Chains A and B, each alone.
Chain A
Amino acid sequence: MKFDRPAEANPIDRMQVVGRAHPRIDGPLKTTGRAPYAYEHHDVVTNPAYGAIVGSAIGKGRIASMNLAEAERAPGVLTVVTAENAGKLGKGKFNTAKLLGGPEIDHYHQAIAVVVAETFEQATAAAALIRVEYAHADGRFDLEEALKTAPLAKDPNSPEKDAPPESRTGEFEQAFAQAPVKLDELYATPDQSHSMMEPHASIAAWNGDKLTVWTSNQMIDWGRTDLATTLGIPKDNVRFVSPYIGGGFGCKLFLRSDAVMAALGAKASGRPVKVALPRPFIPNNTTHRPATRQRIRIGAGADGRIIAIAHESGSGDLPDGQPETATNQTRLLYAGANRLTSMRLAVMDLPEGNAMRAPGEAPGMMALEIAMDELAEKLGLDPVELRVRNDTQIDPEKPDRPFSQRNLVRCLREGAERFGWTRRSATPGAVRDGHWLLGMGTAAAFRNNLLIPSGARVRLERDGLVVVETDMTDIGTGSYTIIAQTAAEMMGVDIGKVVVRLGDSAFPVSAGSGGQFGANCSTSGVYAACVKLREAVAQRLGFNSAEATFSDGHVMSGNRSAKLADAVREGELVAEDKIEWGGLDKSYQQSTFGAHFVEAAVDGFTGEVRIRRMLAVCAAGRILNPTTARSQVIGAMTMGAGAALMEELAVDKRRGFFVNHDLAGYEVPVHADIPHQEVIFLEEADDKVSPMKAKGVAELGICGVGAAVANAVYNATGVRVRNYPVTLDKHLDRLPEVS
């Protein structure tokens, strides 16, 4: 099905199942421990061996020598695989650095060997016996230093391939110079780690030249393709299975070393091999969100209308890496005739930077939305009012390109009302509760709607069950449930009659989970397959499919009605289709919007920041399931709170690695940090985006949160911190007196 015209009325609009708060259909399996995660497929392979990865102990250089003898002799060891004996390996399209390093070392904890042994304990003990001599090389580990000479970089994912690296509209410099009110500030966001609950893990088993990998991966087809490329085998020989995933946040978008090393270890040992990355490997062995250094300049009239806006950002990555696209949202969020955005990319030797929940948007909005708060103060305007005044219903760079639907203003207004925003003191540092300084902050949330083709197969079985199969993944998001809801709505059956099978490369290729495109795209793919299945059913029952309605297990048209089950009395019916996207995202800017409100308390003695309450109002098209959508948004708000207050990978600039590489050193919020969260969804249905009329929420929820927290802290203390995370040491010496 090609979606190239706005959606008309369709069966989803009935919203008898879709749009309802249905609990997760996979919930009981998870709470009873019967949902097997990657490392736990105990039934599929008997007699697995265990692989332990050895990571590079240096950030840059080469392996001078490697002594495997002691490890090979250790009890239980079956084999040791290194770059030297692994044979020729390719590199996946989505990988920046090689997943098996050596002799050249590209980054700290890059895998350089896997030890395969009979038990997990034997493998890890033997891995520690490998003796490696390194020849150190000087690495580029200091972002500030590296940015001094970094060139401009384009957004590699931009559809406009020939656009210049700087995007310009109007005459920024001139307009800014003449603007009555000006802001020009620098902001910094640190490297961050996804820190999802389940570390990367894989079980690999060869059967002749066929390889099956049970793994934890958000994008089945990408991972499968890149594994085939890496191993130099046909893609058809690889099966990737990932039915349950303990979180990913982007860290599992790509093939990683667990899968490659499990496959190599299994090949060399002739046994199925299990590999899980230990927690301390996650920050340096896998990917992270790159740090940014950003400059924002905004010039406004006395009435608060933006005349000129510039946003420049710099980040670093390994050779052939990508910039963190922190300026993208600034191109679209606010009106203003004169605009400039650009990115710089420094080549560095820290581990690979890559997508993490709302890549680009999250750190970009962390800076931009502080800047807006600062501008409001300069103008003597309320921060909500400033944002309302600069709303735009068109793409500010392309005036003939409207937003498909944009309700930012309603989010801000409704949020302000619900939150009691009028109680905010415009003067910072003015509200006390005992020794606590109190403040409120707001920020806009803004994330684009991305469209990826997505396929599905739907089968009506003879017992009346509707079985959906797609390689879509559920990374804890609720995909199982919203897909079941979609199929139930389309086929007119109870949700209990739908069976959903996900995360297997044997199923049709889907959008996968990422960029908050999963929900809308994958359900649209299921919608497309269901339309075909409805046609097949109608044909069997002798209905005109265009007129037939499917409801309560029946098919009806005019005054005729038949049981759905009658259609399969002679045999099951199967339909497969995929949703493909026409040009509606070119003629319309498709985005999701929201407003965050935060109340924060700062201990006047110690400077500790504690959030008291958070509210998000979201406008994101049709909400497919308010329960799972709310979970996504509160999770994102929590992650945003972490980004605002504590999350930072500390770089050792001499040794070239992230030092705090476990969950004791890299702090993420705990329950006590998140006392009260509320989420409101505006009722919307966006007919330009898909037949589901839905967009995503999972990344919208994080965009802007950090700035809302930082703005609340500023409102509490009167001390502006522009360098995340906002930890106590950054404002301690300037706090107002309490006692």
Chain B
Amino acid sequence: MKEFTYERATSPQEAAAKARETLGAKFIAGGTNLLDLMKLEIETPQHLIDVNGLGLDKIENTQNGGLRIGALVRNTTLAADMRVRKDYGVLSRALLAGASGQLRNKATTAGNLLQRTRCPYFYDTNQPCNKRNPGSGCAAIEGFSRQLGVIGTSKACIATNPSDMAVAMRALDAEVETVDEMGRTRKIPIAEFHRLPGDSPHIETTLADGELITAVTLPRPVGGIHVYRKVRDRASYAFALVSVAAVVQRDGSGRVAVGGVAHKPWRVEDAEADLPKGPKSFSARLLADAKPTTDNAFKIPLVERTVAAALNDARQQ
């Protein structure tokens, strides 16, 4: 780990301003991802701005019947919130499918959205990786890629976004609220929040330099049956090979977002028209442009089967 300086911010805007003006500054929330990366010198911030204690840890009802989740709300708190469990069950289930109890107690909403990939080459600083070290190449594409992405990938990077929470938020059409150094706020639809790797896989979101996430808002509940199905080699405490967040209505229509396949939660709204026809035609459209590697080609049928499992779960509830 490299030496760094540390400060506690006093307001969201001040935090954003400090982040923008200080060379090599980063926010720290729960620290469960950032500190691990710093120990391995994958991230080397020179300055940390602690955004705990800015009052961003509340869950509030919004005027239009939705929910506003503070950026610093812990994953445990969010998963256990009665409003979330009742109206946004897919989110609660996705959170509980992630990490471990101890980690969820620390992990925050914003930190979870911004957690970095689990590509094993990204984690080994001896290896070329365009995401860690832009321009150095990608060791994974012709290497061990069983966990990695099958769609929306590029010649520069095939990593996946490992978040479970974000997949559920994508199905729920969440919006990310931010503030910048001037105090200006904006709302970014979750669909536009994470980027595809393209030729700059080190830029993972559409956040501007120093922009601070203050909350995530959920629109009015959409009803339906909420299912989160996470597929992995061991029963717990593992990142998804593939995951499916589904909200299914009685008439068979619904929304489905998929994790473990791309650089962002993968959802194709147009394909959802095919949901009533069953998992096969839906998945075919969802993954129409997929380019898997030999190692991870199994994810294509696995997505279809996991969608089928989720629809089956929904039918049984």
Q: Which residues of A contact B (CB under 8 A)?
A: 57-58, 121, 124-125, 128, 280, 435, 603, 605-608, 610, 645-646, 650-652, 654-655, 659-662, 664-665, 667, 669-673, 725, 727-729, 732-733, 739
Residues of A within 8 A of B238 (CB): 667
Q: Give the residue of A58, A121, A664, A728 whose beta carbon is less than 8 angstroms from that of B302.
A: A728
Q: Give the residue of A610, A660, A673 whose beta carbon is less than 8 angstroms from that of B120.
A: A660
Asked whether, in the complex, the Cβ of B233 is within 8 Å of the Cβ of A655, the reply is no
Q: Give the residue of B41, B118, B142, B146 whose beta carbon is less than 8 angstroms from that of A650.
A: B146
For B117-147 the 0/1 string (1 means CB < 8 A from A) is 0101101111100000000000100111010
CA A654 – CA B40 in complex, angstroms?
23
Residues of A within 8 A of B233 (CB): 608, 645-646, 667, 725, 727-728
For B229-240 the 0/1 string (1 means CB < 8 A from A) is 101111111110
With A606-B302, A664-B239 given, name 6 new contacts (CB 8 A).
A128-B41, A607-B302, A652-B143, A667-B233, A728-B231, A733-B298
Q: Give the residue of A607, A651, A669, A739 whose beta carbon is less than 8 angstroms from that of B234.
A: A669
Interface centre among A646, A651, A655, A727 (most CB of B within 10 A): A655
Asked whether, in the complex, the Cβ of A280 is within 8 Å of the Cβ of B302, the reply is no
- B105 interface hit (Cβ, 8 Å): no
Shortest CB–CB separation between residue B117 and chain A, in angstroms?
12
> With A605-B309, A652-B143 as given contacts, are A671 and B236 in contact (CB-CB < 8 Å)?
yes
Q: Give the residue of A605, A654, A660, A739 whose beta carbon is less than 8 angstroms from that of B306.
A: A605
Residues of A within 8 A of B302 (CB): 606-607, 728-729, 732
> With A605-B309, A659-B120 as given contacts, are A654 and B142 in contact (CB-CB < 8 Å)?
yes
Residues of A within 8 A of B126 (CB): 57-58
Shortest CB–CB separation between residue A66 and chain B, in angstroms?
15
CA A628 – CA B302 in complex, angstroms?
42
CA A662 – CA B118 in complex, angstroms?
11
The 7 closest A-B pairs by CB, nearest first: A605-B309, A57-B126, A672-B235, A729-B298, A672-B236, A650-B144, A659-B144
Shortest CB–CB separation between residue B228 and chain A, in angstroms?
13
Residues of A within 8 A of B312 (CB): 435, 605, 739
Asked whether, in the complex, the Cβ of B144 is within 8 Å of the Cβ of A660, the reply is yes
Residues of A within 8 A of B305 (CB): 605-607, 732
Interface centre among B123, B234, B301 (most CB of A within 10 A): B234
Q: Can you identify 20 A-B contacts, CB atoms within 8 angstroms? A: A121-B3, A125-B1, A128-B125, A605-B306, A608-B231, A608-B233, A650-B120, A650-B144, A652-B143, A655-B127, A659-B143, A665-B123, A672-B236, A672-B237, A728-B231, A728-B241, A728-B302, A732-B301, A732-B305, A733-B301
Q: Give the residue of B1, B3, B143 whose beta carbon is less than 8 angstroms from that of A655.
A: B143
CA A200 – CA B232 in complex, angstroms?
30
CA A124 – CA B238 in complex, angstroms?
28
Residues of A within 8 A of B120 (CB): 650, 659-661, 665
Asked whether, in the complex, the Cβ of A125 is within 8 Å of the Cβ of B3, the reply is yes
Q: Give the residue of A280, A654, A667 whose beta carbon is less than 8 angstroms from that of B124.
A: A280
Asked whether, in the complex, the Cβ of A670 is within 8 Å of the Cβ of B139, the reply is no
B305, closest chain A residue (CB): A605
CA A659 – CA B124 in complex, angstroms?
8
Shortest CB–CB separation between residue A490 and chain B, in angstroms?
45
Interface centre among B2, B3, B120, B146 (most CB of A within 10 A): B120
Q: Tell me the count of chain B residues lying within 8 A, CB to CB, of chain A.
A: 38
Residues of B within 8 A of A660 (CB): 120, 144
- B308 interface hit (Cβ, 8 Å): yes
Shortest CB–CB separation between residue B58 and chain A, in angstroms?
32
Residues of A within 8 A of B239 (CB): 664
Residues of B within 8 A of A667 (CB): 233-234, 238
CA A696 – CA B285 in complex, angstroms?
57
Asked whether, in the complex, the Cβ of B234 is within 8 Å of the Cβ of A670, the reply is yes
Shortest CB–CB separation between residue B246 and chain A, in angstroms?
13
Asked whether, in the complex, the Cβ of B2 is within 8 Å of the Cβ of A662, the reply is no
Interface centre among A603, A606, A667 (most CB of B within 10 A): A606
Residues of A within 8 A of B142 (CB): 654
CA A603 – CA B235 in complex, angstroms?
12
CA A121 – CA B1 in complex, angstroms?
7
Shortest CB–CB separation between residue A48 and chain B, in angstroms?
19
> With A125-B1, A732-B298 as given contacts, are A435 and B143 in contact (CB-CB < 8 Å)?
no
CA A57 – CA B139 in complex, angstroms?
13
Asked whether, in the complex, the Cβ of A645 is within 8 Å of the Cβ of B234, the reply is yes
Shortest CB–CB separation between residue B147 and chain A, in angstroms?
8
CA A673 – CA B234 in complex, angstroms?
6
Residues of B within 8 A of A733 (CB): 298, 301
CA A438 – CA B311 in complex, angstroms?
22
Shortest CB–CB separation between residue A120 and chain B, in angstroms?
10
Asked whether, in the complex, the Cβ of B234 is within 8 Å of the Cβ of A659, the reply is no
Q: Give the residue of A650, A651, A673, A729 whose beta carbon is less than 8 angstroms from that of B235.
A: A673
Shortest CB–CB separation between residue B152 and chain A, in angstroms?
21
Asked whether, in the complex, the Cβ of A659 is within 8 Å of the Cβ of B1, the reply is no
A610, closest chain B residue (CB): B235
Interface centre among B126, B127, B239, B306 (most CB of A within 10 A): B126
A729, closest chain B residue (CB): B298
Asked whether, in the complex, the Cβ of A608 is within 8 Å of the Cβ of B232, the reply is yes
Asked whether, in the complex, the Cβ of B121 is within 8 Å of the Cβ of A659, the reply is yes
Asked whether, in the complex, the Cβ of A670 is within 8 Å of the Cβ of B237, the reply is yes
Complex interface residues of chain B between 156 and 201 (CB less than 8 A to chain A): none
Residues of B within 8 A of A652 (CB): 139, 143-144
CA A608 – CA B241 in complex, angstroms?
11
B127, closest chain A residue (CB): A655
